[in-house]
Structure 1
Amino acid sequence: MAQGAPAPAAATDATAVNPNEIIVTARRRNETLQSTPVAITAINAAMLANKATVNIGDLQGAAPNLLITQQNSGGQAANLSIRGLTYADIEKSQEPTVGVVVDGVFIGTNTGQLLDFFDIDQIEVLRGPQGTLFGRNTIGGVINIRRTKPTMRTGIKAEGTYSSFNSWAARGVVNVGDGESFGVKGFYFHNQSDGFYHNAITGKRSGGSNNENFGASAIFKPAGSGFEALLTLEKQDQTFEVTNSNIANSSELFCLFEPARECNRNNTSDLYTVFTSPGTSRYSAPSATLELNYQAGGVKLTSITGYRKSKEFQTQDFDASSTDLYYTLRQQNYRQFSQELRASGNLFSGFDYVIGGYYFSSRYHLQQWSRIFGFNTALDPRVADSDSQIVDGRNKSYAAFGDFNWAFADKFRLSFGGRYTHDTKELSNAFATRGLIGSGKKSFNKFTPKVGVDFRPDSNTMVYASWSRGYRSGGFSPRAGEARTANLPYNPETVDSYEVGTKLDLLDHKLQFNVAAFYSKYQGLQQNTTIPCLVCVTGNQTITSNVGSANIKGLEFDASARPVDGLRLTATMGLLRSKFKKFIAGNTLTVFDPIAPTVPVTVIRNFDYSANNPIYSPKFSASVGAEYKVPTNFGSVVANVGYRYIGPYDQQISLGPLTGNTGFVSNGGSVIVNGNDARVRSDKQGLLDASLTGNFKLAGANAYLTVFGRNLADDRGTSAAFTVAGLWSFASAREPRTVGVTLGFKY
């Protein structure tokens, strides 16, 4: 290894040189946060507990340019965005742009990502493409979650919480073991709520939920063998009342049939009064993870096997009104299997590596019944729709990867690597009566390299620069409604990201200050567009296509300070500028001739969305927080307060004001879309959270009592909004002011 300043080589848990250092595994190695040349925010268990964190959604604002909103069209579903790259949908044939990795296993869909935070060891938010080590479909970044391992000692941790909207939770973890080589951990988490919406039709609360997550982990670690096996079996169960807010206006067809008070409503306070017919979602997802590690001399061998399946049953009143216009029932079955093998170590002094192979497969089945203009809420959609839509999909992926660090000169290190991925996608679209309308199968191959260099003039300073390429696989449109669109594949999209940054550890380790600037070129942009479809039972179809490119640039700040004992200050800031360079969606429509209304006419219309804002890309976001711990004669008191600001952002690529060729002229000029529909724009958010925790002894156990408040300023608005082809529009609301209390103990 080159001599000079301490090299940023791999660390172990035992090598932290000061109590403020955080060990991360962002690059499949144990390294200190400040020596890792990646834009990363690490959040440990204590930080989560002191903030009274509930699930992954509470991370929003904890890292620069990170957005997380709940997707109410699927069980435990999340919309994730990092640096303006997102996928806001729940279809199983299309993968997220931000990867969620739990104990080394990639979750292949948006559903199942809203995890409970009670048993979490650490969370790492990696910003920018992470294709080399985490694979395709991580072009925005990765949220890497590591849960606690069995302690191999007898112990219990349990807590109960009660909060606004008759919400309560009970959580418990029990550990047993021999203290050296074997241990078992059992866990059970439960939370439920009446929901924060008010249904004006029934006069009751709406949006209630009941969530359970339970399972067990076993660890086997024979002394002196260098071997460790960790097996986790668990299951997620969720039942919730699917609730949509009506944001349709007089320009849309459905408002002609709805009571006047239910249309033309605002996108803030009105969202919390709803008129929907009851909808129910049931989600069940068992899973298994087996991690094996073996230290064979200087080489560490790792195997991670993951299996997950889910069943979903969901009814939903999409028109969000008291008039029965569009009500669906969706049943889905999904399963995934993954296997990763890795080897890591030092090839020679100053040169370390991680190499491996990866296999992933998934398959899913969807059947949807739609009750269109039924005007009868008692009629089962399975009776109303004899021609239900059926979608079957399969996906197989193989990859080989390598990631290397070389300290090639005094104080300099070169990081480089790459991943080769081969994907095969299959999808078929059919209707129960009409039969198969289209199917397709296509393979995609991509090599995604990365290279970076970092410079450490001293042990407290690092400057780095990198280039990496991210890749998101192609596929087929799962909501296509006719043969032409069902058979047509879309191609992969790629992101080339250029980043420079610095990490500073100052004032005798009391201040960590990190800055990153990036520029991303987005090619082969995949986007969903919803268009009319005369042969579709729903009257419209959503197709995915490669529509152009985009440029994204930004600046990020992430700071943590401990100016005096017991006080910790944090701050983040993200600046984003994203713009479509070219976004042309060519749609072939079948419409009726306005002069001869009974005559169908094929019209080719190009929609130019280049002036629209990319979604989930606020220009400015920031957070500040303070945590102060005071010793007392009974234990300690911890006060925590945080403020998160998120600027306005759009939530859907949609049709705003139109100019150009807006008539039905075959092969005419483009329709110019001058921005997204104003109703899909979230207003600016100012979210104030606070908690106060008292730690004390209770019957020999360490106990704690926490009083907390989330969104104390009661900032209200949309968490998701959607418009549908000039027919109707709906939204979901973010959580209003919530206060509560938690009592827990551990020993």
Structure 2
Amino acid sequence: MTRIAVMLWMSVATLSSAQAQTSSDTTTASEKTVATLPEVVVTAERTESLGRRTPVSMGVLQAQDIEIKGITQLSDLAGLIAGVTVPSGFSNTPQAVGIRGVGVSQPASSQAVGLYVDDVPLVRGYATALWDLPDIVRIEVLRGPQGTLYGQNSSAGAVKIISAPPSGDATAWLSAGVGNRGAREMRGLVNGRLGDSALTASLAFSHRENDGFGYNATRRERINQLDVTQFRAKLRWEVSPATEAVLALDGLLDRSDTNTVNYPRNVPGAAPRVSFTSGPDGDFKRQAGGLSLHLAHRVSDALTLCSISAWRAYDDDPAVADFGGLPVQRFGVRQTDGQKAFSQELQAQGRNGDVTWTAGALLVSDLFDFDRVTLTFPLAAAAPLYGRALTKLRTVDFGVYGQGRWVLSESTGVTAGLRAYRTRQTETNSNWATDAAGQRRREVYAAGDLETSSSGWLPRLGVDHQLSRDQFLYASVAKGEKFGGFNRAASSEISARFAAKPERVTAYEVGAKGRYLDGRLSADAALFYNDYRDYLAALSNLVVGGVLVPDAVFANAGRARTCGVDLELAARLTRDLDATMAVEWLRSRFDRFANPTGTAANDYVGNELPNAPRWSLSTGLRYRWSGSAGGAWLIDAALRYTSGRFTDPANARALAIPAETYVDAGAAYEAPGGGWRFSLQVRNLFNRTIAVLPYVIPPLGVDTAYYNPPRTWVLNARHQF
């Protein structure tokens, strides 16, 4: 796969070079402009800048990419943005993002990859999967620690979802689509000025549903169904030429089912996406949303002040799932959980002489409630056992930060940044033996008034040099941290009272970005090395205080490192044909590990990190042309490849994920005048079936997997009013 990609890009470079050498001197300025790749503007450093002059390794998806490729949730980024992994892939499944082999952990805990919507932080991995709204203009994936500007819990990177602010340009459109497996969808966007006032507003919404990707052979019905509705409304008030306020409200209702991880591999007649469970239906209802207020005031050309206030919440009630898919239910859960989070950021940006700077403070307060009833039916038991775990977690994080760039010369600058933070977590945790209805029968333990805290400094130092008008070099060293804290839904009091320390990383990166062949070829490359201390992992049979703890404990396992190379390429082969490629080569290793058996042997030393594929690659072609009657066509084809990887520190073969290769395609036609637009999206064109999330519990006889979505296609028609 890699050889094919290299050969493709050698051909790209050769073709582009030949075109440059044979181009006529009489080519007009406008023709040269058309043949040039468009500039990419990002906000990676909290202010707008050209991507090719921003000293951060990143992958960027523009609005057209999101639409033609059918990007609707975080898991769609895996394989498309090099270095990104998202193990779980269904809408209501908690999704934890990994970058460069780090970040995928328990979704209920703090994450190593920060998620932000319009600079509002999303805490934990619950209710963060779906962002299928037509007002999204860009998704930025920033690789490497971003703690100075984005705070703790972005030690592996950050994912930024950016939506369009309301404008005075009146627009309204509505689209409807149908596809295979009963797919139905509707999306729309309205934007414009409210009368002659200084107010502009926008409303974006989407609804998607299907008949399910799976089948229950016992009940003879479709499962793994999708049913999601979302909206976002914005109101923008231009108070004066120097001051504006943007109020945003978004909401989500997800009634998809939770039959996503119950496809057994050890039942006679088992087949991918087929379940045999006679247990409860995968009932599910999630309500989520948020309210935010962005205030910005330009004091002068040298100083801008802004405030970002946000409140977000979600509630899963109920979430019912079977994890075995067996004719006799062996492991099932029914849970209610919810989160309420408040964040307030105050920020100032300015320029003083040769220094441009950003400084601010961020407070995040998060309350997480968890109530889970479980059924376990061991193979050796005569009857199932029932238990109930209740957790209430409150986490408060406060940070003060500043970052500035000093101009040393016309072409060279130095960046220095620092963030001071303090995080405090309190918890109550209890566990009960119950009956089948969830009524408490016997207290296993009750651990209340738990408290832990950590504080620290997250520095960043970098240097950049504009080698020429189109060539940019940079180097940086940065520190990042991910908060540890308590375990939720612990099965024993020892694991409930155990608080992990923060995971720490020191990251080194050297990069180069450039445009060549009169702007028809761009190439960004980054070489990185990450040194992790107190690596956080979920461990079973861990010895805590000299006592063997049988249930899983979120603990500091030891020391690890990752290193590799990122490469992003784009080329305008002809006026109408573009090619792109993104590739990452990654190596990872545990240098020290707290052995889960408590013995002196370091069994996992030398193992690869979980969800750290050695290769991830995406490459694509996009062709545009205008019809003779004035309509416009666009065709997009892409290949995504991720090499095989392990999902646990033990590198168990039974839990390994094989290599994944997918081909996607899309086409769109815009009628003359732009009133109508028709599009077709096809994902997993060759209908590959891969077990992307194995799940094994030997005492319960559970050996299941979540499979990737099969081939799906959707045909859409959109009308511009």
Which residues in structure 2 correspond to 1:456-475 (within 5 Å)? 456-475=466-485
Moved more, 191-200 or 574-583: 191-200
Say which SS state the counterpart of residue 425 (structure 1) adopts.
strand
Which residues in structure 2 correspond to 1:429-468 (within 5 Å)? 429-432=429-432, 433-434=442-443, 436-439=445-448, 440-468=450-478
Does the C-alpha gap of structure 1 residues 701 and 461 become closer, same or farther in structure 2, counting only changes over 3 Å? closer
Say which SS state the counterpart of residue 714 (structure 1) adopts.
coil
Alpha-carbon separation, structure 1, partners of 2:648 and 2:682: 30
Corresponding position of 1:305: 309
> 1:567: Cα distance to partner?
1.7
Alpha-carbon separation, structure 2, partners of 1:389 and 1:716: 35
Corresponding position of 2:299: 296
Alpha-carbon separation, structure 2, partners of 1:248 and 1:546: 32
> 1:71: Cα distance to partner?
5.0
Decide which of 494, 507, 525 is 1:515's aligned counterpart: 525
Corresponding position of 1:409: 409
> 1:411: Cα distance to partner?
1.6
> 1:703: Cα distance to partner?
1.7
Corresponding position of 1:684: 659
Q: Is 1:487 matched with 2:497?
A: yes
Alpha-carbon separation, structure 2, partners of 1:678 and 1:314: 30
Which residues in structure 2 correspond to 1:88-237 (within 5 Å)? 88-91=105-108, 94-114=109-129, 115-177=131-193, 178=195, 181-224=198-241, 226-237=242-253
Q: Deviations over 1:345-373 (max 9, x none)?
A: 1021x210000000001112111112233
Contact 1:584 1:606 in 2 (8 A): no
Moved more, 723-732 or 278-287: 723-732
User: Which amino acid in structure 2 is aligned with residue 37 of structure 1?
Assistant: P
Corresponding position of 1:593: none
Alpha-carbon separation, structure 2, partners of 1:532 and 1:544: 10
Contact 1:413 1:455 in 2 (8 A): yes
Corresponding position of 2:683: 710
> 1:587: Cα distance to partner?
5.4
CA RMSD of aligned residues (A): 2.5
Contact 1:245 1:274 in 2 (8 A): no
Which residues in structure 2 correspond to 1:554-565 (within 5 Å)? 554-565=564-575
Does the C-alpha gap of structure 1 residues 614 and 516 become closer, same or farther in structure 2, counting only changes over 3 Å? same
Which residues in structure 2 correspond to 1:240-279 (within 5 Å)? 240-245=256-261, 260-261=267-268, 270-276=271-277, 277=279, 278-279=281-282
Does the C-alpha gap of structure 1 residues 532 and 515 become closer, same or farther in structure 2, counting only changes over 3 Å? closer
Does the C-alpha gap of structure 1 residues 136 and 402 become closer, same or farther in structure 2, counting only changes over 3 Å? same
Q: Is 1:59 matched with 2:77?
A: yes
Alpha-carbon separation, structure 1, partners of 2:604 and 2:718: 52
Contact 1:527 1:545 in 2 (8 A): yes
Q: Is 1:363 matched with 2:363?
A: no
Contact 1:549 1:580 in 2 (8 A): yes
Decide which of 38, 48, 62 is 1:44's aligned counterpart: 62
Does the C-alpha gap of structure 1 residues 180 and 124 become closer, same or farther in structure 2, counting only changes over 3 Å? farther
User: Which amino acid in structure 1 is aligned with residue 238 of structure 2?
Assistant: K
Q: Deviations over 1:646-688 (max 9, x none)?
A: 11112233xxxxxxxxxxxxxxxxxxxxx42222211111110
Say which SS state the counterpart of residue 261 (structure 1) adopts.
coil
Q: Deviations over 1:603-658 (max 9, x none)?
A: x79773224331111111111111111011232000111111111112233xxxxx
Alpha-carbon separation, structure 2, partners of 1:342 and 1:374: 55
Corresponding position of 1:599: none
Alpha-carbon separation, structure 1, partners of 2:502 and 2:551: 21
Contact 1:215 1:234 in 2 (8 A): yes
Alpha-carbon separation, structure 2, partners of 1:311 and 1:122: 27
> 1:181: Cα distance to partner?
2.8
Contact 2:133 2:231 in 1 (8 A): no
Aligned length: 661
Alpha-carbon separation, structure 2, partners of 1:686 and 1:563: 25
Alpha-carbon separation, structure 1, partners of 2:262 and 2:417: 49
Which residues in structure 2 correspond to 1:19-38 (within 5 Å)? 20-38=38-56
Alpha-carbon separation, structure 1, partners of 2:595 and 2:186: 49
Say which SS state the counterpart of residue 343 (structure 1) adopts.
strand
Corresponding position of 2:614: 619
Moved more, 424-433 or 632-641: 424-433
Alpha-carbon separation, structure 1, partners of 2:397 and 2:133: 30
Contact 1:125 1:142 in 2 (8 A): yes
Alpha-carbon separation, structure 1, partners of 2:230 and 2:430: 35
Contact 1:83 1:617 in 2 (8 A): yes
User: Which amino acid in structure 1 is aligned with residue 182 of structure 2?
Assistant: N
Alpha-carbon separation, structure 2, partners of 1:532 and 1:373: 24
Alpha-carbon separation, structure 1, partners of 2:196 and 2:352: 34
Does the C-alpha gap of structure 1 residues 59 and 370 become closer, same or farther in structure 2, counting only changes over 3 Å? closer
Say which SS state the counterpart of residue 250 (structure 2) adopts.
strand
Q: Deviations over 1:129-168 (max 9, x none)?
A: 1000111111111111111211233321221121221111
Moved over 4 A (4+): 244-249, 604-607
> 1:436: Cα distance to partner?
4.9
Alpha-carbon separation, structure 1, partners of 2:38 and 2:89: 36
> 1:586: Cα distance to partner?
4.4
Does the C-alpha gap of structure 1 residues 563 and 208 become closer, same or farther in structure 2, counting only changes over 3 Å? same
Q: Deviations over 1:316-359 (max 9, x none)?
A: 112221202222111112111101111001021x2100000000
Q: Deviations over 1:460-500 (max 9, x none)?
A: 00111110111001201113222222212110011111000
Does the C-alpha gap of structure 1 residues 107 and 140 become closer, same or farther in structure 2, counting only changes over 3 Å? same
Say which SS state the counterpart of residue 616 (structure 1) adopts.
coil
Alpha-carbon separation, structure 1, partners of 2:95 and 2:273: 20
The alignment's TM-score, normalised by the length of structure 1, stands at: 0.84
Contact 2:417 2:461 in 1 (8 A): yes
The alignment's TM-score, normalised by the length of structure 2, stands at: 0.87
Q: Identity rate of aligned residues, in percent?
A: 23
Contact 2:134 2:204 in 1 (8 A): no
User: Which amino acid in structure 1 is aligned with residue 255 of structure 2?
Assistant: T
Does the C-alpha gap of structure 1 residues 169 and 247 become closer, same or farther in structure 2, counting only changes over 3 Å? closer
Say which SS state the counterpart of residue 715 (structure 2) adopts.
strand
Corresponding position of 1:594: none
Contact 2:264 2:326 in 1 (8 A): no
> 1:55: Cα distance to partner?
2.9
Alpha-carbon separation, structure 1, partners of 2:499 and 2:542: 20
Contact 2:542 2:596 in 1 (8 A): no
Contact 2:461 2:476 in 1 (8 A): yes
Q: Deviations over 1:194-242 (max 9, x none)?
A: 1111221122221012111124110011342x11111111211111221
> 1:79: Cα distance to partner?
3.0
> 1:118: Cα distance to partner?
2.3
Unmatched tracts of structure 2, length 5 or more: 1-34, 433-441, 544-548
Moved more, 723-732 or 701-710: 723-732
